[in-house]
Structure 1
Protein backbone atom coordinates (compact mmCIF):
# COMPACT_ATOMS: atom_id res chain seq x y z
CA UNK A 1 0.00 0.00 0.00
CA UNK A 2 1.20 3.52 -0.80
CA UNK A 3 1.62 5.05 2.66
CA UNK A 4 1.92 8.58 1.25
CA UNK A 5 -1.44 8.32 -0.50
CA UNK A 6 -3.08 6.70 2.53
CA UNK A 7 -1.85 9.56 4.73
CA UNK A 8 -3.00 12.24 2.30
CA UNK A 9 -6.46 10.83 1.60
CA UNK A 10 -7.13 10.08 5.27
CA UNK A 11 -5.89 13.54 6.21
CA UNK A 12 -6.12 16.98 4.57
CA UNK A 13 -6.86 15.82 1.00
CA UNK A 14 -9.66 13.50 2.05
CA UNK A 15 -11.30 16.03 4.35
CA UNK A 16 -10.99 18.79 1.74
CA UNK A 17 -12.68 16.55 -0.84
CA UNK A 18 -15.56 15.71 1.53
CA UNK A 19 -16.08 19.38 2.42
CA UNK A 20 -16.09 20.35 -1.26
CA UNK A 21 -18.08 17.34 -2.49
CA UNK A 22 -21.13 19.21 -3.91
CA UNK A 23 -18.86 21.58 -5.84
CA UNK A 24 -16.62 18.79 -7.13
CA UNK A 25 -19.61 16.71 -8.19
CA UNK A 26 -20.80 19.64 -10.29
CA UNK A 27 -17.38 20.20 -11.85
CA UNK A 28 -16.88 16.52 -12.69
CA UNK A 29 -20.45 15.77 -13.76
CA UNK A 30 -19.62 15.61 -17.51
CA UNK A 31 -17.07 12.83 -16.86
CA UNK A 32 -19.51 10.89 -14.70
CA UNK A 33 -22.14 11.14 -17.44
CA UNK A 34 -19.60 9.87 -19.96
CA UNK A 35 -19.11 6.72 -17.89
CA UNK A 36 -22.78 6.25 -17.11
CA UNK A 37 -23.80 6.28 -20.77
CA UNK A 38 -22.09 2.90 -21.22
CA UNK A 39 -24.52 1.21 -18.82
CA UNK A 40 -28.14 0.59 -19.89
CA UNK A 41 -30.88 1.41 -17.38
CA UNK A 42 -31.82 -1.58 -15.23
CA UNK A 43 -28.99 -3.78 -16.47
CA UNK A 44 -28.13 -6.78 -14.30
CA UNK A 45 -24.50 -5.92 -13.79
CA UNK A 46 -22.14 -6.19 -10.85
CA UNK A 47 -20.09 -2.98 -10.90
CA UNK A 48 -16.92 -2.02 -9.05
CA UNK A 49 -16.11 1.70 -8.72
CA UNK A 50 -12.38 2.16 -8.06
CA UNK A 51 -11.23 5.21 -6.11
CA UNK A 52 -14.88 6.04 -5.51
CA UNK A 53 -14.19 8.92 -3.13
CA UNK A 54 -17.35 10.22 -1.47
CA UNK A 55 -19.50 7.99 -3.64
CA UNK A 56 -21.06 10.20 -6.31
CA UNK A 57 -20.36 7.87 -9.24
CA UNK A 58 -21.02 4.72 -7.20
CA UNK A 59 -24.48 5.98 -6.28
CA UNK A 60 -25.16 7.07 -9.85
CA UNK A 61 -24.29 3.60 -11.16
CA UNK A 62 -26.34 1.93 -8.42
CA UNK A 63 -29.38 3.99 -9.39
CA UNK A 64 -28.83 3.13 -13.04
CA UNK A 65 -28.67 -0.64 -12.63
CA UNK A 66 -31.42 -0.68 -10.01
CA UNK A 67 -32.47 -3.85 -8.21
CA UNK A 68 -31.21 -6.06 -11.03
CA UNK A 69 -27.58 -5.12 -10.44
CA UNK A 70 -25.18 -4.20 -7.63
CA UNK A 71 -22.48 -1.61 -7.11
CA UNK A 72 -19.46 -1.59 -4.81
CA UNK A 73 -17.24 1.45 -4.25
CA UNK A 74 -13.69 1.10 -2.95
CA UNK A 75 -11.36 3.81 -1.66
CA UNK A 76 -8.48 4.14 0.82
CA UNK A 77 -10.01 7.23 2.47
CA UNK A 78 -11.95 6.71 5.70
CA UNK A 79 -13.53 10.20 5.69
CA UNK A 80 -14.61 9.85 2.06
CA UNK A 81 -16.10 6.38 2.55
CA UNK A 82 -17.87 7.58 5.71
CA UNK A 83 -19.40 10.37 3.63
CA UNK A 84 -20.34 7.92 0.86
CA UNK A 85 -22.08 5.55 3.27
CA UNK A 86 -23.96 8.39 4.93
CA UNK A 87 -25.09 9.69 1.56
CA UNK A 88 -26.21 6.24 0.38
CA UNK A 89 -28.28 5.81 3.55
CA UNK A 90 -29.70 9.31 3.32
CA UNK A 91 -30.70 8.88 -0.32
CA UNK A 92 -31.87 5.29 0.05
CA UNK A 93 -29.48 3.89 -2.55
CA UNK A 94 -28.34 0.26 -1.99
CA UNK A 95 -24.69 0.79 -2.91
CA UNK A 96 -21.96 -0.79 -0.78
CA UNK A 97 -18.57 0.66 0.13
CA UNK A 98 -15.29 -0.72 1.42
CA UNK A 99 -12.23 1.07 2.82
CA UNK A 100 -9.30 -0.68 1.17
CA UNK A 101 -6.55 -0.36 -1.44
CA UNK A 102 -7.77 -1.72 -4.78
CA UNK A 103 -4.14 -2.58 -5.57
CA UNK A 104 -4.04 -5.29 -2.91
CA UNK A 105 -7.62 -5.91 -1.72
CA UNK A 106 -8.72 -9.56 -1.83
CA UNK A 107 -11.73 -9.21 -4.13
CA UNK A 108 -13.85 -12.26 -4.85
CA UNK A 109 -12.29 -13.65 -8.04
CA UNK A 110 -14.19 -13.16 -11.31
CA UNK A 111 -17.00 -11.29 -9.57
CA UNK A 112 -17.54 -8.06 -11.55
CA UNK A 113 -19.05 -7.45 -14.99
CA UNK A 114 -17.83 -3.87 -15.15
CA UNK A 115 -15.02 -1.99 -13.40
CA UNK A 116 -15.22 1.80 -13.60
CA UNK A 117 -13.37 4.81 -12.26
CA UNK A 118 -13.74 8.56 -12.51
CA UNK A 119 -10.22 9.86 -11.85
CA UNK A 120 -9.54 7.21 -9.21
CA UNK A 121 -6.86 5.01 -10.79
CA UNK A 122 -3.91 7.41 -11.08
CA UNK A 123 -2.78 7.06 -7.46
CA UNK A 124 -1.40 3.51 -7.33
CA UNK A 125 2.29 3.20 -6.46
CA UNK A 126 2.42 0.00 -8.57
CA UNK A 127 -0.22 0.39 -11.29
CA UNK A 128 0.63 -2.91 -13.01
CA UNK A 129 -0.02 -4.81 -9.78
CA UNK A 130 -3.19 -2.81 -9.21
CA UNK A 131 -4.67 -3.52 -12.64
CA UNK A 132 -3.59 -7.16 -12.36
CA UNK A 133 -5.57 -7.37 -9.13
CA UNK A 134 -8.55 -5.76 -10.82
CA UNK A 135 -8.21 -8.22 -13.71
CA UNK A 136 -8.54 -11.09 -11.23
CA UNK A 137 -11.70 -9.47 -9.84
CA UNK A 138 -13.22 -9.21 -13.33
CA UNK A 139 -15.29 -11.91 -14.98
CA UNK A 140 -14.18 -13.18 -18.36
CA UNK A 141 -15.25 -10.64 -20.98
CA UNK A 142 -15.80 -8.01 -18.28
CA UNK A 143 -15.19 -4.41 -19.24
CA UNK A 144 -12.83 -1.90 -17.65
CA UNK A 145 -13.82 1.70 -18.29
CA UNK A 146 -12.25 4.78 -16.73
CA UNK A 147 -11.40 8.43 -17.29
CA UNK A 148 -8.03 9.88 -16.31
CA UNK A 149 -6.52 13.31 -16.81
CA UNK A 150 -4.21 13.90 -19.73
CA UNK A 151 -1.06 15.97 -19.20
CA UNK A 152 -0.70 19.20 -17.20
CA UNK A 153 -0.02 21.02 -20.49
CA UNK A 154 -3.42 19.83 -21.75
CA UNK A 155 -5.12 21.03 -18.55
CA UNK A 156 -3.98 24.61 -17.83
CA UNK A 157 -6.91 25.27 -15.51
CA UNK A 158 -5.75 22.50 -13.19
CA UNK A 159 -2.28 24.01 -12.74
CA UNK A 160 -3.10 27.73 -12.77
CA UNK A 161 -3.15 28.06 -8.99
CA UNK A 162 0.25 26.50 -8.37
CA UNK A 163 1.86 28.35 -11.30
CA UNK A 164 0.54 31.67 -10.01
CA UNK A 165 1.64 30.85 -6.46
CA UNK A 166 5.13 29.62 -7.36
CA UNK A 167 6.86 33.05 -7.02
CA UNK A 168 5.29 33.45 -3.58
CA UNK A 169 5.76 29.86 -2.42
CA UNK A 170 9.18 28.63 -3.57
CA UNK A 171 8.78 25.46 -1.49
CA UNK A 172 5.53 24.40 -3.15
CA UNK A 173 5.92 20.65 -3.79
CA UNK A 174 6.63 19.82 -7.43
CA UNK A 175 4.47 17.24 -9.19
CA UNK A 176 6.20 13.99 -10.08
CA UNK A 177 5.50 13.22 -13.76
CA UNK A 178 5.06 9.44 -13.44
CA UNK A 179 4.47 9.21 -9.71
CA UNK A 180 1.07 8.60 -8.15
CA UNK A 181 -1.07 11.67 -8.66
CA UNK A 182 -3.49 13.58 -10.80
CA UNK A 183 -1.47 13.44 -14.04
CA UNK A 184 0.17 10.04 -13.62
CA UNK A 185 -1.72 8.72 -16.67
CA UNK A 186 -1.01 11.68 -18.92
CA UNK A 187 0.98 9.51 -21.35
CA UNK A 188 -1.39 7.23 -23.29
CA UNK A 189 1.44 4.88 -24.31
CA UNK A 190 2.28 4.34 -20.65
CA UNK A 191 -1.36 3.62 -19.82
CA UNK A 192 -1.58 1.08 -22.63
CA UNK A 193 1.63 -0.61 -21.49
CA UNK A 194 0.37 -0.84 -17.90
CA UNK A 195 -2.89 -2.45 -18.97
CA UNK A 196 -1.21 -4.88 -21.35
CA UNK A 197 1.22 -5.99 -18.63
CA UNK A 198 -1.74 -6.45 -16.27
CA UNK A 199 -3.49 -8.82 -18.69
CA UNK A 200 -6.17 -6.57 -20.18
CA UNK A 201 -7.01 -6.81 -23.88
CA UNK A 202 -8.83 -4.88 -26.63
CA UNK A 203 -7.53 -1.63 -25.14
CA UNK A 204 -8.95 1.58 -26.56
CA UNK A 205 -7.71 4.99 -25.41
CA UNK A 206 -9.41 8.10 -26.76
CA UNK A 207 -8.92 11.78 -25.91
CA UNK A 208 -12.01 13.45 -24.52
CA UNK A 209 -12.41 17.20 -24.09
CA UNK A 210 -15.39 18.26 -22.00
CA UNK A 211 -16.51 21.68 -20.83
CA UNK A 212 -16.82 21.97 -17.05
CA UNK A 213 -18.34 24.85 -15.13
CA UNK A 214 -19.17 26.06 -11.65
CA UNK A 215 -20.27 29.34 -10.00
CA UNK A 216 -17.65 32.07 -9.79
CA UNK A 217 -18.55 32.59 -6.13
CA UNK A 218 -17.02 29.16 -5.41
CA UNK A 219 -13.71 29.82 -7.18
CA UNK A 220 -11.69 30.99 -4.19
CA UNK A 221 -12.93 28.07 -2.14
CA UNK A 222 -11.91 25.70 -4.93
CA UNK A 223 -8.42 27.07 -5.49
CA UNK A 224 -7.60 27.29 -1.78
CA UNK A 225 -8.84 23.81 -0.84
CA UNK A 226 -7.80 21.49 -3.67
CA UNK A 227 -4.44 20.29 -4.99
CA UNK A 228 -0.90 21.03 -3.77
CA UNK A 229 -1.70 24.66 -3.06
CA UNK A 230 -4.58 23.79 -0.76
CA UNK A 231 -2.30 21.64 1.38
CA UNK A 232 0.29 24.41 1.65
CA UNK A 233 -2.23 27.14 2.45
CA UNK A 234 -3.53 25.11 5.40
CA UNK A 235 -0.23 25.86 7.14
CA UNK A 236 0.12 29.51 6.09
CA UNK A 237 -0.57 32.49 8.36
CA UNK A 238 -3.51 34.79 7.61
CA UNK A 239 -1.42 37.56 6.02
CA UNK A 240 0.35 35.13 3.71
CA UNK A 241 -2.93 33.43 2.75
CA UNK A 242 -4.55 36.77 1.89
CA UNK A 243 -1.62 37.89 -0.26
CA UNK A 244 -1.40 34.58 -2.11
CA UNK A 245 -5.15 34.24 -2.69
CA UNK A 246 -5.34 37.75 -4.14
CA UNK A 247 -2.52 37.00 -6.56
CA UNK A 248 -3.88 33.61 -7.58
CA UNK A 249 -7.45 34.76 -8.08
CA UNK A 250 -6.33 37.23 -10.76
CA UNK A 251 -4.64 34.41 -12.68
CA UNK A 252 -8.04 32.73 -13.15
CA UNK A 253 -9.61 35.73 -14.91
CA UNK A 254 -9.36 34.08 -18.37
CA UNK A 255 -11.65 31.29 -17.12
CA UNK A 256 -14.28 33.57 -15.59
CA UNK A 257 -17.30 34.43 -17.71
CA UNK A 258 -19.67 36.62 -15.76
CA UNK A 259 -20.86 34.68 -12.73
CA UNK A 260 -19.53 31.35 -14.03
CA UNK A 261 -16.14 29.67 -14.26
CA UNK A 262 -15.69 27.56 -17.39
CA UNK A 263 -12.79 25.44 -18.55
CA UNK A 264 -12.13 22.52 -20.88
CA UNK A 265 -11.02 19.32 -19.19
CA UNK A 266 -8.66 17.12 -21.19
CA UNK A 267 -8.95 13.45 -20.28
CA UNK A 268 -8.43 9.97 -21.64
CA UNK A 269 -11.42 7.69 -21.94
CA UNK A 270 -9.96 4.22 -21.53
CA UNK A 271 -11.82 1.00 -22.31
CA UNK A 272 -10.40 -2.51 -22.02
CA UNK A 273 -11.68 -6.05 -21.66
CA UNK A 274 -10.78 -9.08 -19.60
CA UNK A 275 -9.94 -11.82 -22.11
CA UNK A 276 -11.74 -15.13 -22.00
Structure 2
Protein backbone atom coordinates (compact mmCIF):
# COMPACT_ATOMS: atom_id res chain seq x y z
CA UNK A 1 0.00 0.00 0.00
CA UNK A 2 1.62 3.25 -1.13
CA UNK A 3 1.68 6.62 0.57
CA UNK A 4 -0.86 7.85 -1.99
CA UNK A 5 -3.17 4.99 -1.00
CA UNK A 6 -2.73 5.76 2.70
CA UNK A 7 -3.48 9.44 2.13
CA UNK A 8 -6.63 8.61 0.16
CA UNK A 9 -7.73 6.04 2.73
CA UNK A 10 -7.38 8.27 5.79
CA UNK A 11 -8.72 11.36 4.01
CA UNK A 12 -11.72 9.41 2.76
CA UNK A 13 -14.11 6.87 4.25
CA UNK A 14 -11.70 5.43 6.82
CA UNK A 15 -10.90 8.83 8.31
CA UNK A 16 -14.56 9.80 8.34
CA UNK A 17 -15.43 6.53 10.10
CA UNK A 18 -12.83 7.16 12.82
CA UNK A 19 -14.28 10.62 13.40
CA UNK A 20 -17.77 9.15 13.74
CA UNK A 21 -16.47 6.44 16.09
CA UNK A 22 -14.34 8.81 18.21
CA UNK A 23 -16.27 8.31 21.50
CA UNK A 24 -16.20 4.52 21.07
CA UNK A 25 -12.50 4.44 20.23
CA UNK A 26 -11.55 6.77 23.07
CA UNK A 27 -13.45 4.48 25.44
CA UNK A 28 -11.83 1.36 23.97
CA UNK A 29 -8.26 2.62 23.99
CA UNK A 30 -8.37 4.75 27.16
CA UNK A 31 -5.92 2.39 28.96
CA UNK A 32 -3.37 2.97 26.21
CA UNK A 33 -3.78 6.75 26.33
CA UNK A 34 -3.06 6.51 30.05
CA UNK A 35 -0.12 4.15 29.41
CA UNK A 36 1.55 6.69 27.11
CA UNK A 37 0.66 9.70 29.25
CA UNK A 38 2.19 8.06 32.33
CA UNK A 39 5.51 8.05 30.49
CA UNK A 40 5.59 11.86 30.69
CA UNK A 41 6.57 13.17 34.16
CA UNK A 42 3.95 15.49 35.71
CA UNK A 43 4.94 19.12 35.29
CA UNK A 44 7.44 18.23 32.58
CA UNK A 45 8.70 20.99 30.26
CA UNK A 46 9.07 18.47 27.42
CA UNK A 47 8.23 19.10 23.81
CA UNK A 48 6.25 15.96 22.87
CA UNK A 49 5.31 14.72 19.39
CA UNK A 50 2.29 12.40 19.05
CA UNK A 51 2.54 10.49 15.73
CA UNK A 52 -0.71 9.29 14.18
CA UNK A 53 -2.61 11.24 16.82
CA UNK A 54 -6.04 10.62 15.28
CA UNK A 55 -8.70 12.71 17.00
CA UNK A 56 -6.33 13.79 19.76
CA UNK A 57 -7.02 11.69 22.85
CA UNK A 58 -3.38 10.87 23.60
CA UNK A 59 -2.14 14.39 22.79
CA UNK A 60 -4.70 15.91 25.15
CA UNK A 61 -3.89 13.41 27.93
CA UNK A 62 -0.18 14.22 27.64
CA UNK A 63 -0.70 17.99 27.38
CA UNK A 64 -2.69 17.87 30.62
CA UNK A 65 0.43 16.59 32.41
CA UNK A 66 2.90 19.13 31.01
CA UNK A 67 4.25 22.02 33.00
CA UNK A 68 5.64 25.45 32.11
CA UNK A 69 7.43 25.38 28.79
CA UNK A 70 5.95 22.01 27.85
CA UNK A 71 4.05 21.45 24.63
CA UNK A 72 2.49 18.55 22.75
CA UNK A 73 2.04 18.46 18.98
CA UNK A 74 -0.26 15.87 17.46
CA UNK A 75 0.31 14.91 13.83
CA UNK A 76 -1.88 12.77 11.59
CA UNK A 77 -2.30 12.20 7.85
CA UNK A 78 -6.11 12.52 8.19
CA UNK A 79 -7.35 16.11 7.85
CA UNK A 80 -10.78 15.10 9.17
CA UNK A 81 -9.32 13.63 12.35
CA UNK A 82 -7.06 16.65 12.84
CA UNK A 83 -10.09 18.94 12.48
CA UNK A 84 -11.82 17.03 15.27
CA UNK A 85 -8.70 17.09 17.44
CA UNK A 86 -8.46 20.87 17.04
CA UNK A 87 -12.13 21.24 17.93
CA UNK A 88 -11.62 19.19 21.09
CA UNK A 89 -8.57 21.25 22.02
CA UNK A 90 -10.48 24.53 21.81
CA UNK A 91 -12.30 23.78 25.04
CA UNK A 92 -9.04 22.89 26.82
CA UNK A 93 -6.35 25.18 28.18
CA UNK A 94 -3.57 22.70 27.55
CA UNK A 95 -0.39 23.45 25.56
CA UNK A 96 -1.28 21.44 22.47
CA UNK A 97 -1.62 21.91 18.73
CA UNK A 98 -2.28 19.66 15.75
CA UNK A 99 -0.81 19.28 12.25
CA UNK A 100 -2.33 17.47 9.26
CA UNK A 101 0.70 15.85 7.63
CA UNK A 102 2.34 12.55 6.73
CA UNK A 103 4.86 11.80 9.48
CA UNK A 104 7.02 9.79 7.09
CA UNK A 105 7.59 12.76 4.77
CA UNK A 106 7.04 15.79 6.99
CA UNK A 107 10.17 17.92 7.46
CA UNK A 108 10.57 18.35 11.21
CA UNK A 109 12.89 20.87 12.83
CA UNK A 110 16.00 18.92 13.86
CA UNK A 111 16.55 18.05 17.52
CA UNK A 112 13.40 19.94 18.54
CA UNK A 113 11.49 17.09 20.23
CA UNK A 114 12.14 15.60 23.67
CA UNK A 115 9.76 12.66 23.46
CA UNK A 116 7.93 10.90 20.60
CA UNK A 117 4.80 8.86 21.30
CA UNK A 118 2.34 6.94 19.16
CA UNK A 119 -0.73 4.86 19.90
CA UNK A 120 -1.12 2.48 16.97
CA UNK A 121 0.04 5.06 14.43
CA UNK A 122 3.42 3.72 13.33
CA UNK A 123 2.34 0.55 11.48
CA UNK A 124 1.05 2.42 8.42
CA UNK A 125 4.32 3.72 6.94
CA UNK A 126 5.17 2.33 3.50
CA UNK A 127 8.87 2.93 4.35
CA UNK A 128 9.16 2.59 8.13
CA UNK A 129 12.95 3.03 8.17
CA UNK A 130 12.58 6.39 6.43
CA UNK A 131 9.82 7.38 8.85
CA UNK A 132 11.69 6.43 12.02
CA UNK A 133 14.86 8.05 10.72
CA UNK A 134 12.96 11.31 10.31
CA UNK A 135 11.53 11.02 13.81
CA UNK A 136 14.98 10.29 15.22
CA UNK A 137 16.45 13.37 13.48
CA UNK A 138 13.60 15.43 14.96
CA UNK A 139 14.47 14.20 18.47
CA UNK A 140 17.22 15.78 20.54
CA UNK A 141 20.18 13.71 21.68
CA UNK A 142 18.97 11.66 24.64
CA UNK A 143 15.33 12.19 23.70
CA UNK A 144 13.05 9.19 23.75
CA UNK A 145 10.55 7.19 21.71
CA UNK A 146 7.57 5.35 23.23
CA UNK A 147 5.15 3.80 20.74
CA UNK A 148 2.52 1.07 20.81
CA UNK A 149 1.84 -1.38 17.98
CA UNK A 150 -0.28 -4.50 17.64
CA UNK A 151 1.24 -7.95 17.94
CA UNK A 152 0.09 -10.83 15.72
CA UNK A 153 -3.52 -11.33 14.54
CA UNK A 154 -3.73 -14.73 16.24
CA UNK A 155 -3.03 -12.99 19.57
CA UNK A 156 -5.79 -10.43 18.94
CA UNK A 157 -8.92 -12.48 18.39
CA UNK A 158 -11.24 -9.53 19.03
CA UNK A 159 -9.64 -7.50 16.25
CA UNK A 160 -10.19 -10.27 13.69
CA UNK A 161 -13.60 -11.55 14.85
CA UNK A 162 -15.60 -9.41 12.43
CA UNK A 163 -13.73 -10.45 9.29
CA UNK A 164 -13.69 -14.13 10.27
CA UNK A 165 -17.44 -14.06 10.84
CA UNK A 166 -18.16 -12.10 7.65
CA UNK A 167 -15.81 -14.08 5.39
CA UNK A 168 -18.52 -16.49 4.12
CA UNK A 169 -20.69 -13.52 3.12
CA UNK A 170 -18.24 -10.88 1.86
CA UNK A 171 -15.20 -10.88 -0.41
CA UNK A 172 -12.93 -9.09 2.04
CA UNK A 173 -9.54 -7.71 0.96
CA UNK A 174 -6.65 -9.81 2.28
CA UNK A 175 -4.46 -8.37 5.02
CA UNK A 176 -0.81 -7.79 4.11
CA UNK A 177 1.62 -9.78 6.24
CA UNK A 178 4.17 -6.99 6.64
CA UNK A 179 2.14 -3.86 6.08
CA UNK A 180 1.47 -1.13 5.96
CA UNK A 181 -1.50 -2.03 8.13
CA UNK A 182 -2.72 -2.88 11.59
CA UNK A 183 -0.49 -5.92 12.09
CA UNK A 184 2.55 -4.75 10.15
CA UNK A 185 4.68 -4.78 13.32
CA UNK A 186 3.62 -8.22 14.52
CA UNK A 187 7.16 -9.60 14.04
CA UNK A 188 9.25 -8.37 16.98
CA UNK A 189 12.57 -8.90 15.19
CA UNK A 190 11.38 -6.83 12.25
CA UNK A 191 10.54 -3.97 14.60
CA UNK A 192 13.94 -4.21 16.29
CA UNK A 193 15.63 -4.12 12.87
CA UNK A 194 13.59 -1.10 11.73
CA UNK A 195 14.51 0.92 14.80
CA UNK A 196 18.18 -0.08 14.59
CA UNK A 197 18.35 0.73 10.88
CA UNK A 198 16.75 4.12 11.67
CA UNK A 199 19.61 5.05 14.02
CA UNK A 200 17.88 4.69 17.39
CA UNK A 201 19.77 3.13 20.32
CA UNK A 202 18.90 1.40 23.62
CA UNK A 203 16.02 -0.24 21.78
CA UNK A 204 13.41 -2.25 23.68
CA UNK A 205 10.38 -4.02 22.20
CA UNK A 206 8.38 -5.57 25.01
CA UNK A 207 5.00 -7.27 25.19
CA UNK A 208 2.08 -5.34 26.67
CA UNK A 209 -1.22 -7.10 27.39
CA UNK A 210 -4.11 -4.83 28.29
CA UNK A 211 -7.80 -5.44 28.88
CA UNK A 212 -9.88 -2.99 26.84
CA UNK A 213 -13.63 -2.61 26.56
CA UNK A 214 -16.52 -0.71 25.02
CA UNK A 215 -20.18 -0.44 25.96
CA UNK A 216 -22.25 -3.34 24.67
CA UNK A 217 -24.62 -0.70 23.29
CA UNK A 218 -21.77 0.54 21.05
CA UNK A 219 -20.85 -2.82 19.53
CA UNK A 220 -23.04 -2.51 16.44
CA UNK A 221 -21.70 0.99 15.79
CA UNK A 222 -18.13 -0.28 16.14
CA UNK A 223 -18.71 -3.18 13.72
CA UNK A 224 -20.51 -1.04 11.14
CA UNK A 225 -17.81 1.64 11.01
CA UNK A 226 -14.38 0.12 11.58
CA UNK A 227 -12.03 -2.44 10.11
CA UNK A 228 -12.30 -4.29 6.79
CA UNK A 229 -15.91 -5.30 7.48
CA UNK A 230 -16.94 -1.79 8.46
CA UNK A 231 -15.36 -0.52 5.27
CA UNK A 232 -17.46 -2.85 3.16
CA UNK A 233 -20.64 -2.20 5.12
CA UNK A 234 -20.24 1.51 4.41
CA UNK A 235 -20.04 0.84 0.67
CA UNK A 236 -23.35 2.05 -0.87
CA UNK A 237 -23.08 -0.71 -3.48
CA UNK A 238 -23.70 -3.37 -0.83
CA UNK A 239 -27.28 -4.61 -0.93
CA UNK A 240 -29.28 -3.50 2.14
CA UNK A 241 -30.44 -7.02 2.92
CA UNK A 242 -26.88 -8.36 2.74
CA UNK A 243 -25.66 -5.50 4.92
CA UNK A 244 -28.25 -6.33 7.58
CA UNK A 245 -27.37 -10.04 7.40
CA UNK A 246 -23.64 -9.42 7.74
CA UNK A 247 -24.12 -7.01 10.61
CA UNK A 248 -26.25 -9.50 12.54
CA UNK A 249 -23.83 -12.39 11.93
CA UNK A 250 -20.84 -10.31 12.98
CA UNK A 251 -22.45 -8.84 16.10
CA UNK A 252 -23.48 -12.36 17.16
CA UNK A 253 -19.87 -13.53 16.71
CA UNK A 254 -18.75 -11.13 19.44
CA UNK A 255 -20.92 -12.91 22.03
CA UNK A 256 -17.90 -14.51 23.80
CA UNK A 257 -16.59 -11.03 24.61
CA UNK A 258 -19.83 -9.64 26.05
CA UNK A 259 -19.82 -9.19 29.82
CA UNK A 260 -23.11 -7.56 30.73
CA UNK A 261 -23.08 -3.94 29.63
CA UNK A 262 -19.45 -4.09 28.47
CA UNK A 263 -17.65 -5.89 25.64
CA UNK A 264 -14.17 -6.72 26.98
CA UNK A 265 -11.11 -8.18 25.28
CA UNK A 266 -7.39 -8.62 25.71
CA UNK A 267 -5.24 -6.40 23.47
CA UNK A 268 -1.83 -7.90 22.68
CA UNK A 269 0.66 -5.19 21.78
CA UNK A 270 4.32 -4.26 21.62
CA UNK A 271 5.72 -1.27 23.48
CA UNK A 272 8.54 0.24 21.44
CA UNK A 273 11.09 2.25 23.41
CA UNK A 274 14.32 3.78 22.17
CA UNK A 275 16.70 6.70 22.68
CA UNK A 276 18.02 9.18 20.10
CA UNK A 277 21.85 9.12 20.06
Q: Summarize the alignment of residues 1-276 of structure 1 with structure 2, pairs less than 5 Å apart.
A: 2-169=3-170, 171-235=171-235, 236-275=238-277
Q: Is the 8 A contact 1:88 1:94 kept in 2?
A: no
List structure 1 runs of 4+ shifted beyond 4 angstroms: none
| TM-score, structure 1 as length reference | 0.97
The alpha carbon displacement at 1:214 in A equals 1.2
Q: Is the 8 A contact 2:13 2:231 kept in 1?
A: yes
The alpha carbon displacement at 1:91 in A equals 2.5
The alpha carbon displacement at 1:84 in A equals 0.6
SS at the partner of 1:269? strand
The alpha carbon displacement at 1:146 in A equals 0.5
The alpha carbon displacement at 1:125 in A equals 0.3
The alpha carbon displacement at 1:242 in A equals 0.7
The alpha carbon displacement at 1:12 in A equals 0.7
Q: Is the 8 A contact 2:34 2:61 kept in 1?
A: no
The alpha carbon displacement at 1:94 in A equals 3.0
Q: Is the 8 A contact 1:42 1:68 kept in 2?
A: no
The alpha carbon displacement at 1:246 in A equals 1.1
Q: Is the 8 A contact 1:49 1:72 kept in 2?
A: yes
The alpha carbon displacement at 1:259 in A equals 1.5
Unaligned runs of 5+ in 2: none
Listed one character per residue, the Cα deviations across residues 193-213 of structure 1 (whole Å, up to 9, x for unaligned) are 000000000001110110011
| TM-score, structure 2 as length reference | 0.97
The more displaced of 226-235 and 62-71 is 62-71
Q: Is the 8 A contact 1:151 1:187 kept in 2?
A: yes
SS at the partner of 2:66? helix
Listed one character per residue, the Cα deviations across residues 1-50 of structure 1 (whole Å, up to 9, x for unaligned) are 70111111001110110111111011001111111111111101000000
Q: Is the 8 A contact 1:211 1:262 kept in 2?
A: yes
Distance (whole Å) between structure 2 residues aligned to residue 259 and residue 50 of structure 1: 33
Q: Is the 8 A contact 1:141 1:273 kept in 2?
A: yes
Distance (whole Å) between structure 2 residues aligned to residue 91 and residue 23 of structure 1: 21
SS at the partner of 1:64? coil
Report the RMSD for the aligned CA atoms in angstroms: 1.0
